[in-house]
Amino acid sequence: MAPITSPPSSLERSAQGQFVERLARLPWWLLLIALAGVFLFYKITTDELYSIILDRLQQGIGLTLFVTAIAYSLAIFIGLIVGLGRV
């Protein structure tokens, strides 16, 4: 025998009821994080101090990648020389 359930109310059947149910399941924390991200993006793109900081960061990241590539190349070269020196 099937369990007896009450018929859905008119609010649950309406489009408004479905919208309310969707909002109830929405991860509000994700919405807050997205809003904070939009605010920070706006603040960073419009503030002169942040613009200066981002320019310095770009220079630093470029320099870091350059030094890493040079150091890795030198390490491979030195390892090759030492490895061949054992032969």
Instruction: Provide the number of structural domains found in the chain.
Output: 2
Residue 87 counted as domain residue = yes
Domain region containing 33: 10-44
Residue 4 belongs to a domain: no
CB 44 within 8 A of CB 50: yes
* 7 contacts: CB under 8 Å, gap ≥ 6: none
Quick one: 54 and 77 in the same domain?
A: yes
Tell whether 2 is covered by a domain.
Answer: no
Do residues 85 and 71 share a domain? yes
Q: Would you say 53 and 61 are in contact if contact means Cβ atoms under 8 Å apart? A: no
Model's pTM, two decimal places? 0.49
Give the pLDDT of the chain (87 residues) as one tens digit per residue.
556 665 555 545 688 888 888 878 878 888 899 999 999 899 888 999 988 888 899 999 999 999 999 999 999 999 999 999 876
